[in-house]
Each structure stands twice: as C-alpha cells, then as structure tokens.
Chains A and B, each alone.
Chain A
C-alpha cells in the first residue's frame, strides 16, 4: 500500500492540536463532577463532599431557574426565527437589485456589524438609548415619551432580539446568496417568455428554490435553542432587567464565578450542555437525513 508510510506523519501533524484539546477541553470535562459535589475551592475536587443530585434538586426548587430557562428559550427562539427570515428576505431583495457596483457595496457594508464585538456594540447601544440619545430623539420627534430601554423589562428583550438580528442579518445573507447564484438562469428566461412578472418569478422560482437552504438552516438552528447569546446579554443587562434578560449562561457566571456556588453553577451548566448536545445531534441527524448535509 503506497500510503502506509505516511501514517506516522499524519499522526505527528495532529499531535500538538490534540494535546491542547485534551488539556483545555477534555480535562475540564472531568470538572463536571463538581455538579454532584458541595464543591469547596479549598478542598478541591478530590476532597469536596459528594452530595449526589442535591444541586439539581435545588435547581428545580429555585424560582430563578424557571425565569432563566424561560428567558433563554424565549430570547433564543425569537433570535433564531429572525435570523432565518430576515436574511432570506434580504437576499431575495438584494438579488433583485440591478447595478453590480451598488449591490457589492451594500453587501460589503451589511457584513460589517458581524465583525464588531458585543462590547463595542453595547457601548454604542448604551450611548444611543439614553433618554437624550439618538433613539429617544426619534421617539420624541414622533411625539412619544423617552424610554429608558435598558432598564425596562418590557423593552429589554426587544432590544436584545432586534440588535442581534441587526448584527447578524448581513452575514446570514451569504449562504442564501450562494444558493441564489446556483439557480439556473434559463429558468428565469423560460418564465419571462411565459410572461411572468418579477414578483411572479420570485414567487414561483426564487422562493421554492431557496426552501431547501432555509430548511437546512432551520434544522441546524435547533441546537441553538439554549444559546441566547452570553456576550450580548452580559454587556447590556443590569440588575433591573434580570427578570426579563437573565439567561442560563449569565446566571452560571454570576452563581459560579461571582458568588462561588461552584457546584450549583456547574449543575446548571451541565444541564444546558447536555440538552444542547442532544439537540445538536438530533438536528445534524435530521439535516443529514433530509437535506443530505454533512459536517465533513
């Protein structure tokens, strides 16, 4: 076999990366046992007392946990829906635009927010939503009362969801545009000969041909139902909006690293990881079965 001699080289190429993964990804997984312990940092994993499922029991009795699970799913679901539909609509509209230069310019600019961090965008959002910030000036111009968006439980989730969709829609468009460039132009030519107008072409050619891509992305997003966006919430929230904005990840941060309830925080994190992991496996299985999608 002519390839036999290469095996050792392949292993060597993989070695450094695998070692790092073992240290920084696999070893921390052993830390999951803390979820079943009354973990004390002074005692460490070896000597902290085992308490079985106590942390999980406590978790279900906690009134906070209902709120954080509800918030997480609520925010994540709306973000997922928006992040599927807005790029789809935008890609179709962009595709209808004539003038190559303008089209490329629009594309280039709408990708930009994706590359800015939530730290930066939060700084901008905080500044723009104060009572005399840019947003409230517009509210006042239309005769409304200024709103303190970031201190209002009514508005906070709206800000989270809309700003996330705004940040990501440009980037999300890439995959739809790729699908659009794959459409055979002769379909449109045939439609034009049959007398189809532009809206009819979108309705009967473009949309149906984007459906498989849409379903694929929708399937893959199932795994994100518990990911409501730590960076964004963490940088925008404050104690006043915990009620509407606190999510699993931010709760784990506060319980674990701020209040040193390591066992409880690990239990919450473990529960989230396991559910997410199962959801991802389900979604990838569905995607490979129905859309012939493979990760590699």
Chain B
C-alpha cells in the first residue's frame, strides 16, 4: 500500500497515538488506583491521599484477608464453582453443539431442538419462579444452585454450532467412509480442531461463573456458602440500607476500610487478569468464526 508521509499525516498519527494512550489510561487507572490503595496505609487511603502510588506501603490488608476464614472460604467456593460449572458448561456445549451442527438431512429433529434452545434463551419465567423452584428442590446453600440453572450455556452452544458448521464437509464425509460414528467424530475430530472456538466459550463460561454474584446472594442463605463476588458485594459494595441520606452514603463509603476493600477487589481481579492474556488471542478468532455465517 502506498503511504504518503506528509507533515499533516504524521501530525495526525501523533495525535492518534496520544488519544490512544489516553484511552488506555482510562482503562488502566481505575485498576491501578485500586492496587495502589490496597498497598497503602489505612489513614492515607481514608483521607483520599492515594492516587497512583501506594502511600505508607504495607501488606496488612492482604494479611488480614488471608486471616479471614470467610473470605478464604468464599474464594474456594468460587474456585469450586468455576471448575464444576465450567466443566459442565463445556461438556454440555460440546455434546449439544455437535448434533445441532448437522444438517436437517443428517439429523431430522435438528431445527425443532434449535428453536427450543433459542426459545429458552430469549424467554424466561423470571427470578421469582426460579427462586421458588430452587427452594422446593431444596437446593438452597448447595453449590448445585450456582451451577445447574446455567448448566446449558445456550449462547455458547450457538457459537459452537456455527463454528462446527464451518468445518469442511469433506472431512466429515471422509470420517463417515472410514466408519467413524458420531461420538468418535465429535471427540477425535471436531474437538481437536476447534481449539479457538472452545477456548472462547470456555473463557466466557469461566468468567461468567467467576463474576456471578446474584445467584449466590439469593440461593445461599449463610455467608459460608457465598462465592467470592457475593461476599464482596455484601461487604464492599452494598449501600442499600433501608433508610439513608446523602451524608450517610458518604459516611458509609468512608467508614468502610478502603485498603481492605481494595485488597479484596484486587484478589478477585487477579485470576481473570492471569487467565485472560493466554486466551485473548484465541477468542477474537473464535467469536468472529462463530458469528460469520454463509
């Protein structure tokens, strides 16, 4: 491509770079600031004197968190939830996407099943009936309450269906001729060549499970069963006390121990930031392949 490196073009390029750096800063600063607060001395944080660098550096907040059995426990509830829920999501997505990716000639009921899935994705009974169902199933306080309602990741199934359909027909036919049945085709051919799509849906469901707080809040009756986000929501975020005026909003956010809160947020962010870079390069590819249809 021909590029004209005139003065104005270069100026525009510099302006663009500066703009991009500003945008980057808006994405980084809130997180960076939280990290800085978490390592600061309590009194500096409460006085609002910490901006981008810890003042009165210490790790007391993190020591306190580690010594808080409820926090540590909720962290492991979340880990358990991610592994169990993520595993179930993965298995069900793969199992459902394969038959649904076959043409109606190959699998006669395909379209009926597909519409059923889309219907459940678009329409729901709402939270009140779900709450009553979980209560009557006796699932309150059980990890299954966090895992089962979202066990079928319908959106991910559709992404994967679209990805599977882009796999060349020749490959499938070659498999059939060699006598491969559906299970063999799925586990030995489709899954191994679908890494980008599988990485994408895995990231989505793992992040979804890690970030969910609401089901923990309504289905878990005691704090020992809270997943991490629900724990944080209850202690760090919630300002919804019954009677409140504007000075109290201020007071509540000031009285709370900011360094401790910040440290809790950081602990909840770190796992995501560690996993994210490894999957990032796959997911853009995965989303694009899953969304483009011919």
Contacts and interface: CB of A to CB of B under 8 A. Distances in A.
B210 to A, nearest CB: 8
A189 B1 contact: yes
Interface stretch (A59-67, A75-83, A94-102): A94-102
B30 A124 contact: yes
B67 interface: no
A239 B242 CA distance: 7
Nearest to B47: A132
Nearest to B165: A296
B287 interface: yes
A31 B151 CA distance: 20
A26 interface: yes
B232 A123 contact: yes
Interface in A151-202: 151-152, 166, 170, 174-175, 177-178, 185, 188-189, 192-193, 198
Nearest to B277: A108
Interface string A81-97: 00000000010011011
25 contacts: A3-B106, A6-B181, A10-B99, A14-B95, A17-B157, A21-B117, A29-B123, A34-B128, A96-B13, A106-B23, A106-B24, A108-B280, A112-B273, A120-B229, A127-B258, A130-B250, A131-B250, A170-B27, A192-B1, A252-B128, A256-B131, A257-B218, A262-B128, A277-B123, A296-B118
Interface string A6-36: 1101110110111011011111111110100
Contacts of A257: 127-128, 131, 218
Given A148-B246, A237-B240, A126 B253 contact: yes
By secondary structure, the A interface counts as: helix
Q: Interface range on chain B: under 10, 10 to 19, 20 to 34, or 35 or more?
A: 35 or more
Given A30-B129, A277-B123, A111 B250 contact: no
Contacts of B220: none
B258 to A, nearest CB: 6
A285 interface: no
B237 A235 contact: yes
A46 B212 CA distance: 32
B198 interface: no
B237 A175 contact: no
B232 A119 contact: yes
A43 interface: no
A239 B120 contact: no
A195 to B, nearest CB: 10
Given A133-B48, A240-B245, A265-B128, A20 B272 contact: no
Interface string B202-234: 000001001111100010000000000100110
B124 to A, nearest CB: 6
Contacts, number: 293
A266 B128 contact: yes
B105 A3 contact: yes
A127 B148 contact: no
A174 to B, nearest CB: 6
B61 interface: no
Given A240-B245, A253-B127, 14 more contacts: A7-B109, A9-B181, A10-B98, A13-B99, A23-B148, A28-B133, A32-B126, A130-B48, A137-B48, A150-B239, A257-B128, A262-B128, A277-B122, A295-B158
Given A119-B211, A266-B128, A6 B265 contact: no
Interface of A: 2-3, 6-7, 9-11, 13-14, 16-18, 20-21, 23-32, 34, 41, 45, 90, 93-94, 96-98, 102, 106, 108-113, 115-117, 119-128, 130-134, 137, 148, 150-152, 166, 170, 174-175, 177-178, 185, 188-189, 192-193, 198, 230-231, 234-235, 237-240, 252-253, 256-257, 262, 265-266, 269-270, 272-273, 276-277, 280-281, 293-296
A125 B33 CA distance: 11
Interface in B132-149: 132-133, 148-149
B169 interface: no
Contact of B96 (A14, A93, A273): A14
A114 to B, nearest CB: 9
